């Protein structure tokens, strides 16, 4: 199977046309896809038609999948599929995670081994809104002034899942179960140290590895110094030149590399307009920083 890769943005996004992810990929096609994913940290594979089982089977070809920790929102056909949706059942319960990913972040950076890549399939796009925005953290790192680079080199950020501990974020009012969930996680989850500069294990490039959503401090640095430093880094991240905004088409299957990107869901839709996505996540390894030779 051969496919075409068309660049979509200088911030490292491309579309892939002519690939059918419902069928097993041969070795050459899989290698070409993995190559494209390193060249472009965001790839949008167009025109897919995937059942939950087919999406999970496709994703497993990229690597072992993470077990989903929000069992309530796993798809009944395949527990490796997490449902992100604003749909509400007649009894008032949510079908999937509502307003998932509504602040800049890299997926599961609060874990010791954050997920390598996320695979998101548009099952139903809203008529308005629902975009996903990506920030190329290789490019952000490359653009950092020397003094900022020196101040973060070799340092660890402190990451935590609880939004209740992070004054830079808020909990969506649409997520009725979120306050209790974060309170529980605050009690049961320890702070996670992650290198502020992450060396990509496959490309060898350096990327800034912090996020407004999960990074709440800097190890061995008082907050009076750490918070303004984080604000300075986040201020650079917010510059549009590093961003690609994906406007979802029906049938899009988007894969992104969490080792060198931040992303956020842009919202902008509400019921009865429905946005439903199916997510799988590829298991990753422990982030590290290797100074340039
Ligand atoms: Fe996310």
Mean pLDDT by 10 residues, the chain (293 residues): 93 98 96 98 98 98 89 90 92 84 92 97 95 98 97 97 88 71 80 98 98 97 98 97 97 98 94 95 97 86
**Rounded CA separation 259/285 (Å):** 10
Q: What is the pLDDT of residue 189?
A: 84
Distance from Cα 212 to the centre of ligand 1, integer Å:
12
**Rounded CA separation 253/59 (Å):** 11
pTM of the shown model? 0.94
Residue from 259, 263, 275, 276 carrying the catalytic annotation: 263
- Distances in whole angstroms, Cα of residue 190 to Cα of each of 5, 44, 90, 223: 41, 35, 37, 18
Distance from Cα 163 to the centre of ligand 1, integer Å:
14
First and final C-alpha spacing in the chain: 39
Q: Is position 200 annotated as part of the catalytic site?
A: no
Q: What is the dihedral of CA 67, 155, 226, 114, to 10 degrees?
A: -10
User: What is the residue whose two structure tokens read 């974060």?
Assistant: 182
Q: Is position 105 annotated as part of the catalytic site?
A: yes
DSSP letter for each residue of 103-127: SSB-TTTTSSS--SEEEEEEEE--S
Q: What is the pLDDT of residue 174?
A: 66
Distance from Cα 34 to the centre of ligand 1, integer Å:
20
Q: What share of the chain is helix, strand, coil (3-state, %, to 5)?
A: 25, 30, 50
Distance from Cα 132 to the centre of ligand 1, integer Å:
9
Residue from 46, 105, 155, 278 carrying the catalytic annotation: 105
Distance from Cα 293 to the centre of ligand 1, integer Å:
32
Q: What is the pLDDT of residue 2?
A: 84
Quick check: 98 and 173 in contact, CB under 8 A? Answer: no
**Rounded CA separation 279/288 (Å):** 26
List the structure tokens of 114: 């954050």
Residue from 107, 156, 252, 257 carrying the catalytic annotation: 107
């Amino acid at each position: 199977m051969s496919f075409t890769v068309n660049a979509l943005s200088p911030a490292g996004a491309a579309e892939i046309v002519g690939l059918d992810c419902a069928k097993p990929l041969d070795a050459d096609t899989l290698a070409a896809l993995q190559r494209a994913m390193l060249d472009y940290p965001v790839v949008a594979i167009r025109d897919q038609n995937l059942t939950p089982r087919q999406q999970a089977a496709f994703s497993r070809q990229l690597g072992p999948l993470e077990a989903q920790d929000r069992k309530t929102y796993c798809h009944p056909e395949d527990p490796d599929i997490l449902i992100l949706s604003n749909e509400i059942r007649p009894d008032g319960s949510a079908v999937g995670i509502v307003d998932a990913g509504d602040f800049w972040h890299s997926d599961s950076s609060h874990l010791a081994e954050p997920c390598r890549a996320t695979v998101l399939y548009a099952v139903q796009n809203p008529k308005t809104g629902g975009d996903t925005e990506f920030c190329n953290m290789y490019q952000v790192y490359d653009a950092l002034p020397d003094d900022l680079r020196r101040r973060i080199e070799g340092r660890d950020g402190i990451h935590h899942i609880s939004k209740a501990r992070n004054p830079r974020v808020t909990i969506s009012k649409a997520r009725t179960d979120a306050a209790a969930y974060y309170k529980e996680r605050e009690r049961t989850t320890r702070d996670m140290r992650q290198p502020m500069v992450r060396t990509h294990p496959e490309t060898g490039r350096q990327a800034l590895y912090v996020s407004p959503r999960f990074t709440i401090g800097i190890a061995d640095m008082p907050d009076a110094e750490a918070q303004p430093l984080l604000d300075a880094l986040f201020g650079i991240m917010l510059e549009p030149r590093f961003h690609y905004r994906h406007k979802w088409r029906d049938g899009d299957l988007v894969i992104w590399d969490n080792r060198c990107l931040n992303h956020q869901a842009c919202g902008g839709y509400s019921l009865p307009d429905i946005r439903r996505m199916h997510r799988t996540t590829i298991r990753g390894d422990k982030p590290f920083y290797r100074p340039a030779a």
